[in-house]
Amino acid sequence: MSLRSLPSVDKLLQQAGFLIAAHGRSLTVAAIRAAQDELRVSVRYGGEVPPILQILSRIEALLLSWTKPTLQPVINATGVVLHTNLGRAPLSNAAILAMGEVSRGYSNLEFDLESGKRGSRLIHTGSVLRRLTGAEDALVVNNCASAVLLVLTALAKLKPVIIPRSQLVEIGGGFRVPDVMKQSGARLVEIGTTNKLRISDFEEALAAIPEKTSSNPGSGLARIVMLTHRSNFRMIGFTEEPELKEIIFSAHRLGAILIYDLGSGALLDTARFGMVHEPTVQEALDAGADLVMFSGDKLVGGPQAGIIVGRQDLIGKVKKHPLARAVRADKTCLAGLTATLLHFLKDEAEQEIPIWRMVSQSLDLIISRVELWRDELGVGAVQPGESTIGGGSLPGYSFPTWLLSIPVKSPEKILSAMRKFSPPVIARTEHDCILLDPRTVFLDQDAALISCLKSVIR
């Protein structure tokens, strides 16, 4: 068949009014030309020119594939509360509302309403964080990794920083503490062994570093100790490590400041919910840490952010560093984080912050939902299981839940089909069964989940 039989761009445009209305003329023309290129190849190899409607259908498919967002909501039925690959913490309604409010129009992000002059975006979360944690001052940046980098660059460039070997950790995405310290210009001083750390290790290392000033501990910033919370693994067996208060007391006695990368940043005592205890921000500050860095989107349950709290003079130096502008938080982050922090301040975190609702969800409610799913589907069995926190928090710890277990011949094939559903459903498998945990599925997602399972499994 001759290439001359292919419909022209103009002819296809005359028939593509509905596509132009939905996607615009320029993009539609590009899709028409892409479809024509495909047809030319097909005709050269002996293919037939399809009817106009079929060509238009292909053009529409191209447009939809080009314009469909790659970032989309999913249903998390894995039971991993802070699933890093699924966006970590879902936001509270108040946080979503606050972020929307400042996005619809203008805001006083860097405008002082009282004086009518330029203000600072750094004030918007400061008062809430100070009241909540008891810190002298606070700073919010775009994530915890940048908070660590900023603090080290501002305070420790070209200076020795003492850190235990057991805390030279790597978190997700290849983020390694030694690499960050090197990037900041700090000089890494490793102490202790992988499994054993003693106060004498700190004292010997600090004694070897000349102190610029001695009257005020850490005022010259010649001596710096850094601790990193092992938030994504545990050390057990033949191990030894001093208490945090003991380390801080020793550091201050020898004229050093102590900065603490706490990672997940618990503001509530996880032991209240029957889990193992996760060190809290308040505990670190009460123990005397000079600066504490932690995430806003893990156990805080807010938008992605890095939070720095502690001594006012040190945070003042950090705020003035040029890198602070490069990693600053935007207006939506500041609004959403403030709304999230207020839930803790008002003692309503368990009711309002989704991850804490999931953690505190009763087993009676969970099993009733599993039974409802089973009855709706007519397949599967209710069985006990384990949920996890995830997101680099409470490593190795799990807590009881109830699961819907559905035996299938090809689990991976079923999981793949579930991921293609709208909205996609993410689950896990075990012993040729699909396992679904209601703990991480919102109540208003039950109908969509059931619809997906009916479509895929039957």
Query: What single string gives the DSSP state of each residue in 144-161?
Result: HHHHHHHHHHHHHTTSEE
Distance of alpha carbon 5 from its chain centroid, rounded? 54
Question: What's the confidence (pLDDT) of residue 267?
Answer: 95
Give CA–CA dist 132/344, Å, rounded. Answer: 8
Which parts of 45-143 fold into alpha helices (H)? 52-67, 93-104, 126-133
pLDDT tens by residue, the chain, 458 residues = 567 778 899 999 999 999 999 999 999 999 999 999 998 888 888 888 889 999 999 999 999 999 999 999 999 999 999 998 999 999 999 999 999 999 999 999 999 999 999 999 989 999 999 999 999 999 999 999 899 999 999 999 989 999 988 877 776 666 777 788 888 888 889 888 878 888 998 888 988 888 664 334 444 567 899 998 876 666 667 778 888 899 999 999 999 999 999 988 899 998 888 888 889 999 999 999 999 999 999 999 999 999 999 999 999 999 999 999 999 999 999 999 999 999 999 999 999 999 999 999 999 999 999 999 999 999 999 999 999 998 777 777 889 999 999 999 999 999 999 999 999 999 999 999 999 999 999 999 999 999 999 999 87
Q: Quick one: pLDDT at residue 173?
A: 61
**What was the pLDDT predicted at 215?**
39
**pLDDT tens for each residue of 414-424:** 999 999 999 99
Looking at residue 111, the DSSP 8-state letter turns out to be B
pLDDT of residue 353: 97
Residue 320: Cβ within 10 Å count:
9
The whole-number pLDDT of residue 219 equals 42
CB atoms within 10 A of CB 394: 24
* pLDDT tens by residue, 269-294: 988 888 888 899 999 999 999 999 99
Q: In what order do the strands lie in the sheet with 291-295?
A: 137-141, 306-310, 291-295, 257-263, 224-228, 160-164, 187-191
Alpha-carbon distance of 270 to 359, in angstroms, equals 9
pLDDT in tens, 33-89: 999 999 888 888 888 888 999 999 999 999 999 999 999 999 999 999 999 899 999
